[in-house]
Chain A
Amino acid sequence: DAGITQSPRHKVTETGTPVTLRCHQTENHRYMYWYRQDPGHGLRLIHYSYGVKDTDKGEVSDGYSVSRSKTEDFLLTLESATSSQTSVYFCAIRGISNEQFFGPGTRLTVL
Protein backbone atom coordinates (compact mmCIF):
# COMPACT_ATOMS: atom_id res chain seq x y z
CA ASP A 1 0.00 0.00 0.00
CA ALA A 2 3.10 2.26 -0.36
CA GLY A 3 2.85 3.23 3.30
CA ILE A 4 0.36 6.05 2.77
CA THR A 5 -2.27 6.98 5.32
CA GLN A 6 -4.84 9.75 5.16
CA SER A 7 -6.76 11.40 7.96
CA PRO A 8 -9.54 11.86 8.59
CA ARG A 9 -11.12 9.19 6.40
CA HIS A 10 -14.52 10.84 6.55
CA LYS A 11 -15.54 14.38 7.41
CA VAL A 12 -18.73 16.38 7.31
CA THR A 13 -18.41 20.12 7.71
CA GLU A 14 -20.36 23.29 7.08
CA THR A 15 -19.89 25.91 4.39
CA GLY A 16 -17.38 28.56 5.39
CA THR A 17 -15.41 26.48 7.89
CA PRO A 18 -11.71 25.69 7.45
CA VAL A 19 -10.75 22.07 6.85
CA THR A 20 -7.33 20.40 6.85
CA LEU A 21 -6.66 16.96 5.44
CA ARG A 22 -3.47 15.12 6.25
CA CYS A 23 -1.42 12.71 4.17
CA HIS A 24 1.34 10.74 5.85
CA GLN A 25 3.92 8.51 4.17
CA THR A 26 6.54 6.29 5.74
CA GLU A 27 8.91 5.65 2.82
CA ASN A 28 10.66 9.01 2.38
CA HIS A 29 9.28 9.75 -1.09
CA ARG A 30 10.16 13.19 -2.40
CA TYR A 31 7.05 13.81 -4.52
CA MET A 32 3.57 13.90 -3.02
CA TYR A 33 0.25 14.84 -4.63
CA TRP A 34 -3.31 15.78 -3.75
CA TYR A 35 -6.15 14.82 -6.10
CA ARG A 36 -9.89 15.08 -5.96
CA GLN A 37 -12.19 12.55 -7.58
CA ASP A 38 -15.64 13.47 -8.83
CA PRO A 39 -18.13 11.61 -11.03
CA GLY A 40 -17.63 12.46 -14.68
CA HIS A 41 -14.30 14.17 -14.04
CA GLY A 42 -12.09 11.38 -12.84
CA LEU A 43 -9.04 12.28 -10.80
CA ARG A 44 -7.83 15.86 -10.99
CA LEU A 45 -4.63 17.24 -9.53
CA ILE A 46 -5.02 19.97 -6.88
CA HIS A 47 -1.45 20.59 -5.71
CA TYR A 48 1.78 18.69 -5.53
CA SER A 49 5.04 18.88 -3.63
CA TYR A 50 8.56 18.07 -4.79
CA GLY A 51 10.25 18.48 -1.44
CA VAL A 52 9.96 20.07 1.99
CA LYS A 53 8.48 23.55 1.55
CA ASP A 54 8.40 23.08 -2.26
CA THR A 55 4.92 22.99 -3.72
CA ASP A 56 3.15 23.86 -6.94
CA LYS A 57 -0.38 24.19 -8.28
CA GLY A 58 -2.27 21.61 -10.25
CA GLU A 59 -5.30 21.76 -12.49
CA VAL A 60 -7.90 22.65 -9.84
CA SER A 61 -6.01 24.57 -7.14
CA ASP A 62 -8.44 27.46 -6.54
CA GLY A 63 -9.75 27.41 -2.97
CA TYR A 64 -7.01 25.06 -1.73
CA SER A 65 -3.63 25.55 -0.12
CA VAL A 66 -0.98 23.04 0.88
CA SER A 67 1.97 22.81 3.19
CA ARG A 68 4.85 20.41 3.63
CA SER A 69 7.06 21.06 6.62
CA LYS A 70 8.31 17.47 6.89
CA THR A 71 9.05 14.90 4.21
CA GLU A 72 6.45 12.51 5.56
CA ASP A 73 3.49 14.90 5.84
CA PHE A 74 1.58 16.80 3.16
CA LEU A 75 -1.38 18.87 4.32
CA LEU A 76 -4.27 20.09 2.20
CA THR A 77 -6.29 23.02 3.56
CA LEU A 78 -9.62 24.36 2.44
CA GLU A 79 -9.57 27.86 3.93
CA SER A 80 -13.33 28.33 3.68
CA ALA A 81 -15.10 25.19 2.51
CA THR A 82 -17.79 25.39 -0.15
CA SER A 83 -20.32 22.80 -1.31
CA SER A 84 -18.42 22.47 -4.61
CA GLN A 85 -15.52 21.03 -2.61
CA THR A 86 -17.58 18.03 -1.58
CA SER A 87 -15.52 15.23 -3.05
CA VAL A 88 -13.24 12.31 -2.36
CA TYR A 89 -9.66 13.43 -1.84
CA PHE A 90 -6.69 11.19 -2.57
CA CYS A 91 -3.07 11.63 -1.68
CA ALA A 92 -0.40 9.98 -3.82
CA ILE A 93 3.36 9.52 -3.86
CA ARG A 94 5.63 9.09 -6.85
CA GLY A 95 7.63 5.93 -7.30
CA ILE A 96 11.06 5.58 -8.85
CA SER A 97 9.68 5.11 -12.37
CA ASN A 98 7.24 8.06 -12.28
CA GLU A 99 4.30 5.84 -11.39
CA GLN A 100 2.05 7.06 -8.60
CA PHE A 101 0.67 5.17 -5.63
CA PHE A 102 -2.47 6.30 -3.89
CA GLY A 103 -3.70 6.45 -0.34
CA PRO A 104 -7.11 5.21 0.82
CA GLY A 105 -8.87 8.56 0.39
CA THR A 106 -10.83 11.05 2.48
CA ARG A 107 -14.53 11.48 1.85
CA LEU A 108 -15.45 15.13 2.51
CA THR A 109 -18.98 16.47 2.60
CA VAL A 110 -19.58 20.21 2.83
CA LEU A 111 -23.13 21.08 3.85
Chain B
Amino acid sequence: QKEVEQDPGPLSVPEGAIVSLNCTYSNSAFQYFMWYRQYSRKGPELLMYTYSSGNKEDGRFTAQVDKSSKYISLFIRDSQPSDSATYLCAMITGANNLFFGTGTRLTIIP
Protein backbone atom coordinates (compact mmCIF):
# COMPACT_ATOMS: atom_id res chain seq x y z
CA GLN B 1 0.00 0.00 0.00
CA LYS B 2 1.32 3.42 -0.91
CA GLU B 3 1.74 6.01 1.82
CA VAL B 4 -0.44 8.47 -0.11
CA GLU B 5 -3.23 7.54 -2.51
CA GLN B 6 -4.65 9.95 -5.06
CA ASP B 7 -7.08 9.31 -7.90
CA PRO B 8 -5.14 10.10 -11.11
CA GLY B 9 -8.24 11.16 -13.02
CA PRO B 10 -8.41 12.64 -15.55
CA LEU B 11 -11.14 14.92 -14.29
CA SER B 12 -13.03 17.26 -16.62
CA VAL B 13 -15.52 19.84 -15.36
CA PRO B 14 -17.26 22.84 -16.96
CA GLU B 15 -16.07 26.34 -16.23
CA GLY B 16 -17.60 27.77 -13.08
CA ALA B 17 -18.13 24.40 -11.39
CA ILE B 18 -16.81 23.47 -7.96
CA VAL B 19 -13.93 21.01 -8.14
CA SER B 20 -13.14 18.52 -5.39
CA LEU B 21 -9.76 16.79 -5.32
CA ASN B 22 -8.91 14.22 -2.67
CA CYS B 23 -6.13 12.15 -1.15
CA THR B 24 -6.03 9.49 1.50
CA TYR B 25 -3.03 8.45 3.55
CA SER B 26 -2.03 5.65 5.85
CA ASN B 27 0.66 7.16 8.11
CA SER B 28 -0.83 8.83 11.17
CA ALA B 29 2.51 10.57 11.77
CA PHE B 30 1.92 13.00 8.90
CA GLN B 31 1.64 16.47 10.37
CA TYR B 32 1.90 18.88 7.44
CA PHE B 33 -0.24 18.77 4.32
CA MET B 34 0.27 20.52 1.04
CA TRP B 35 -1.31 20.89 -2.36
CA TYR B 36 0.79 21.65 -5.41
CA ARG B 37 -0.34 22.70 -8.86
CA GLN B 38 1.75 21.64 -11.82
CA TYR B 39 1.26 22.97 -15.31
CA SER B 40 2.50 20.92 -18.22
CA ARG B 41 6.31 20.93 -18.47
CA LYS B 42 6.67 23.10 -15.37
CA GLY B 43 7.77 22.51 -11.80
CA PRO B 44 5.21 21.94 -9.00
CA GLU B 45 3.98 25.19 -7.48
CA LEU B 46 2.92 25.29 -3.82
CA LEU B 47 -0.76 26.17 -3.66
CA MET B 48 -1.90 25.44 -0.12
CA TYR B 49 -0.17 24.46 3.11
CA THR B 50 -1.74 23.41 6.37
CA TYR B 51 -0.67 21.61 9.52
CA SER B 52 -3.90 20.96 11.36
CA SER B 53 -7.31 19.45 10.90
CA GLY B 54 -9.99 21.76 9.57
CA ASN B 55 -10.29 24.14 6.67
CA LYS B 56 -7.96 26.74 5.23
CA GLU B 57 -9.19 29.15 2.61
CA ASP B 58 -7.21 31.22 0.10
CA GLY B 59 -9.28 32.98 -2.52
CA ARG B 60 -11.11 30.38 -4.60
CA PHE B 61 -9.18 27.53 -2.98
CA THR B 62 -10.05 25.68 0.23
CA ALA B 63 -7.89 22.95 1.75
CA GLN B 64 -9.54 20.56 4.16
CA VAL B 65 -7.80 18.07 6.45
CA ASP B 66 -9.52 15.30 8.40
CA LYS B 67 -6.85 13.54 10.43
CA SER B 68 -9.29 11.13 12.04
CA SER B 69 -10.19 9.76 8.60
CA LYS B 70 -6.71 10.31 7.12
CA TYR B 71 -8.28 12.25 4.29
CA ILE B 72 -7.46 15.60 2.71
CA SER B 73 -9.30 17.60 0.08
CA LEU B 74 -8.80 20.63 -2.12
CA PHE B 75 -11.86 22.53 -3.32
CA ILE B 76 -11.73 25.00 -6.19
CA ARG B 77 -14.71 27.37 -6.48
CA ASP B 78 -15.73 29.12 -9.68
CA SER B 79 -13.24 27.04 -11.66
CA GLN B 80 -11.46 28.73 -14.57
CA PRO B 81 -9.72 27.33 -17.66
CA SER B 82 -6.46 28.57 -16.13
CA ASP B 83 -7.00 26.04 -13.30
CA SER B 84 -6.39 23.23 -15.79
CA ALA B 85 -3.30 21.46 -14.44
CA THR B 86 -2.20 18.44 -12.48
CA TYR B 87 -2.78 18.75 -8.73
CA LEU B 88 -0.49 16.92 -6.35
CA CYS B 89 -1.14 16.34 -2.69
CA ALA B 90 1.86 15.99 -0.41
CA MET B 91 2.44 15.39 3.25
CA ILE B 92 5.31 15.28 5.67
CA THR B 93 6.12 14.10 9.16
CA GLY B 94 8.38 16.10 11.42
CA ALA B 95 11.31 14.56 9.55
CA ASN B 96 12.53 15.35 6.11
CA ASN B 97 10.71 13.33 3.54
CA LEU B 98 7.80 14.70 1.59
CA PHE B 99 5.41 12.01 0.36
CA PHE B 100 3.47 12.78 -2.78
CA GLY B 101 0.32 11.47 -4.35
CA THR B 102 0.62 10.61 -8.03
CA GLY B 103 -1.43 13.66 -9.03
CA THR B 104 -4.88 14.30 -10.49
CA ARG B 105 -5.05 15.78 -13.97
CA LEU B 106 -7.79 18.41 -14.11
CA THR B 107 -9.28 20.05 -17.21
CA ILE B 108 -11.74 22.95 -16.98
CA ILE B 109 -13.89 23.12 -20.09
CA PRO B 110 -14.82 26.67 -21.23
Question: Interface on A for B, CB 8 Å cutoff?
Answer: 31, 33, 40-45, 48, 50, 56, 58-59, 90, 97-105, 107
Contact = CB atoms under 8 A, between A and B. Distances in A.
B65 to A, nearest CB: 15
29 contacts: A40-B8, A41-B102, A42-B6, A42-B88, A42-B100, A42-B101, A43-B44, A43-B100, A44-B100, A48-B96, A58-B97, A59-B97, A97-B49, A97-B51, A98-B92, A99-B32, A99-B46, A99-B49, A100-B34, A100-B90, A101-B46, A102-B36, A102-B43, A103-B43, A104-B42, A104-B43, A105-B41, A105-B42, A107-B41
Q: Is the interface of A mostly helix, strand, loop or mixed?
A: strand
Contacts of A44: 100
Contact of A42 (B41, B51, B102): B102
Interface of B: 6, 8, 32, 34, 36, 41-46, 49, 51, 88, 90, 92, 96-98, 100-103
B46 A45 contact: no
B98 A45 contact: yes
Contacts of B8: 40
